[in-house]
Structure 1
Amino acid sequence: MATPENGGDDHVVELSVREVSPSEIHAGEVSDEISPLLSQSERPKINIFTASYPRRKPREPITRLPEVETSPITQFILWVWSGSRYSGLLCMAVSSVIYFLMGVISDVFSVQSIPLFETAFTRCTIILISSYIWLRRSGQPILGLTNVRHLLISRAVLGYLSLMSFIYCIQRLPLSQAIVLSFTTPIMASVMARIILHEKLRISDIGGLACSFFGVLFIFRQVLTRHGGLANDGEGSNAYIRGSNHVYAILVGLFSAITGGISYCLIRAGAKASDQPVATVFSFGILSSPAAGICSFAFEVFVFPSLYSFILMLVLGVLAFLAEVFLARALQLEKTSKVANVQFIEAVLSQLWGIGWSSLAPSFGRLVGCLLIVISVCCTLYIGPDKEAE
């Protein structure tokens, strides 16, 4: 207890501690004043003054993950695919370059002779598998949307008819004449787009297509001025075919161009409706692959390819898939007549490759034809896409 010692201004406090005997502790006679101080059952209350804060650790250096750098080739492909208003024209240019590279690979790497239907079956199968993987990884419906399935089926049928007709044309006509007939496909596609899709054909579009096709005629004029045509019998000897057989082969080639032009229109309509150009490629592969396989076993003798030939066929099949995808993307983004004109650059690249690599004679007609095509394609790229929305 505390008692004051004097009554002055200074106070002296005396504290006295009373000892508690063990008997009192066991008897529970501890005073009420002391018992709350000894109770540990209740958790002490924490306020802002009693709470302890951890010391701030020194700032550790932040380690950032290195950014994944994309290669220039990947950046270029992404820019071409959807990076500018010229993407449609550039996609068709990439498709034509890939087709040109396929011809270069076939010329440089000589392989065993593979029948045409077997080659078509291999490429269509690779196109089918590649497009299926593309659609699965992108989460797109495999069979396409319900409202565009009729477009995809029609595209597949007409694309297959065009392919089979072109194969027949190659077998019956010399390669140069078959190529000339195949380059009528862009013209047929522009005409059919005017009829089916109601696209406007401007004077610049008609002039560009005419200039490019005249360039093709200048390039192959020596072959076209011959009477009849040259047919290869498969053993290196050439024989002239005349009369009704030659005319029939030309008509089949024109049929291939017409069906190919209609197929271009269906590709454009289906790709725009489904917003997925690969769906049109898959629809073509799902019909062409088994049909080409049936034709290969029915009309030709199956040739088992060697390992070297099989690898080359796989490479060409993958390139064919990429070319078809870029072609479908080009038709999705741009008017048919414009992208069809860009397709003629394949003929220019083939002639330049032949002059530089195969010692092809740089005749006046070839140079004039290449110049006409280059001028036409450059004008198309300079004019660019139409400003108004169709």
Structure 2
Amino acid sequence: MTSFDQIRRRIPDPLLAALLALGACIFFALLSATVKHLSTELHGFVTAFWRNLFGFVFMIPWLWRHGFGSLRTGRFGTYLFRSSISVVSMMCGFTGLAFLPIANATSLSFTAPLFATIMAALILKERVRIRRWSATLLGFCGVLLILQPWSGDSLAGIGIGEGLIIVSAFLTATVTIIVKTLSRSESSQAIVTYMVLLATPLALVPATFVWSWPSLEAWPYVVALGLFGTLGHLCWTHAFALADASAIVPYDYSRLIFTVILGVFWFGEHPDTWFWIGSAVIIGAGIYIAQREAFLRHAKATQAAATQATADSAQPGTAPVLPTKDDAR
């Protein structure tokens, strides 16, 4: 057993999951800062291509380990559509970062769960009750606080950067819905692998229309795009493997802290009071929606288990399962 494995065994899973989630948020914040740094010489479309290309390079060991046997599917069209939406979302987000402070862009990106709630009700026909609708509405009120439409600086408070980030968040929510439908019949390995394989050629096409080569000084940052994105993705995935989603999702909002720090020290950006108020409202709404969905999933699973237990006990010759002392607590 290696020293790393020994250290790993001494860390409880919940703590390790939290550390991995925080690590993922740091890497994603560094990715955003790197994108913004490169925006002075590269178009967002070109940056998206390099991020996907080097992301693929750094994912090769993972692909080699898991193989390509899981790629047999009858839903290639859905995979292609999902990857296309993901690439467009990335291009919008990367381009928007050129116009906004990274902290503002990060806060506005947190509207993705709000859009996902709406689409889950409209597309997946999920039952969304008044509590989640209220949290969703409150979250969009937080967006208005950040945009400050009463300031008159831009049309309805939405400039090019804000619009692109909100579109990116909407498309991210769309991808979430597509992944939910894919997960009903496809393995998680296939979903990840197809995204990695398809994203780079899809991103290359629009990048060619605004193409420019990075300068010599920019190449380390270009390579770092793939490194930060891949490390963030792997940390996030492993965190979900060690703990429930309801325990991991709230950590995603720590990205705001890291991006604010990077914005202050790297770009000299200082968020105003309305930013903090609006961000708090959006984050509060997002956490409530995540916790509420986790509660409803748990309640549904418990009800299904109870129904199955009742059906089993009704079978001839089957003795009912009596609760133990621990079950009665």
Question: Scaled by the length of structure 2, what TM-score is found?
Answer: 0.65
Q: Alpha-carbon deviation of 1:123?
A: 0.8
Deviations 1:129-154 (A, max 9, x none): 33443132123526x24255444223
SS at match of 1:385: helix
- Match status 1:350 vs 2:278: no
Is residue 123–residue 313 contact of structure 1 (8 Å, CA) maintained in 2? Answer: yes
Q: Alpha-carbon deviation of 1:189?
A: 1.8
Aligned with 1:191 (options 118, 122, 130):
118
> Counterparts in 2 of 1:105-254, with a 5 A limit?
113-141=41-69, 144-167=71-94, 169=96, 174=100, 182-201=109-128, 205-206=132-133, 214-215=141-142, 217-218=144-145, 220-221=146-147, 224-229=149-154, 254=166
SS at match of 2:2: coil
SS at match of 1:146: coil
Change (3 A) 1:92 1:213: farther
SS at match of 1:114: coil
In structure 2, the residue matched to 1:38 is none
Change (3 A) 1:350 1:304: closer
Q: Which amino acid aligns with 2:256?
A: A
Deviations 1:176-223 (A, max 9, x none): 7765653332211222233444545466655555555555554x345x
Change (3 A) 1:130 1:92: same
Q: Alpha-carbon deviation of 1:251?
A: 6.3
Q: Alpha-carbon deviation of 1:110?
A: 8.1
Deviations 1:70-124 (A, max 9, x none): 2688569x97xxx45996x9876654332113235567x8897233222111111
Aligned residues: 296
Aligned with 2:194 (options 273, 283, 306):
283
Q: Which has the higher contact order (CA 8 A, sep 6+)?
A: 2
Is residue 128–residue 282 contact of structure 1 (8 Å, CA) maintained in 2? Answer: no
Q: Which amino acid aligns with 1:295?
A: P
In structure 2, the residue matched to 1:293 is 204
Q: Alpha-carbon deviation of 1:163?
A: 2.7
Is residue 190–residue 340 contact of structure 1 (8 Å, CA) maintained in 2? Answer: no
Is residue 121–residue 296 contact of structure 1 (8 Å, CA) maintained in 2? Answer: yes
Aligned with 2:25 (options 96, 103, 127):
96
Q: Alpha-carbon deviation of 1:380?
A: 7.2
SS at match of 2:213: coil
Q: Where do 5+ consecutive residues of structure 1 fail to align?
A: 1-66, 230-241
- Which entry has the higher C-alpha Rg, 1 or 2? 1
Is residue 267–residue 331 contact of structure 1 (8 Å, CA) maintained in 2? Answer: no
Q: Percent identity?
A: 18
Is residue 112–residue 305 contact of structure 1 (8 Å, CA) maintained in 2? Answer: no
In structure 1, the residue matched to 2:4 is 70
Give distance in 1, aligned partners of 2:272 and 2:7. Answer: 36
Give distance in 2, aligned partners of 1:261 and 1:378. Answer: 16
Give distance in 2, aligned partners of 1:74 and 1:326. Answer: 14
Is residue 124–residue 288 contact of structure 1 (8 Å, CA) maintained in 2? Answer: yes
Q: Alpha-carbon deviation of 1:355?
A: 5.5
Q: Which amino acid aligns with 1:315?
A: A
Deviations 1:306-330 (A, max 9, x none): 1x42222212212112334556678
Q: Alpha-carbon deviation of 1:264?
A: 1.3
Deviations 1:269-327 (A, max 9, x none): 435643325x3333233333123223223223x22431x42222212212112334556
Give distance in 2, aligned partners of 1:311 and 1:118. Answer: 15
Give distance in 2, aligned partners of 1:101 and 1:248. Answer: 23
- RMSD over aligned Cα atoms: 4.7
SS at match of 1:388: helix
In structure 1, the residue matched to 2:312 is none
- Match status 1:274 vs 2:186: yes
Q: Alpha-carbon deviation of 1:68?
A: 1.9
Is residue 145–residue 274 contact of structure 1 (8 Å, CA) maintained in 2? Answer: no
- Match status 1:303 vs 2:213: yes
SS at match of 1:70: helix
Q: Alpha-carbon deviation of 1:156?
A: 1.0
Q: Which amino acid aligns with 1:69?
A: S
Q: Which amino acid aligns with 1:227?
A: G
Is residue 110–residue 283 contact of structure 2 (8 Å, CA) maintained in 1? Answer: no
Q: Which amino acid aligns with 1:311?
A: P
SS at match of 2:299: coil
Change (3 A) 1:297 1:363: closer
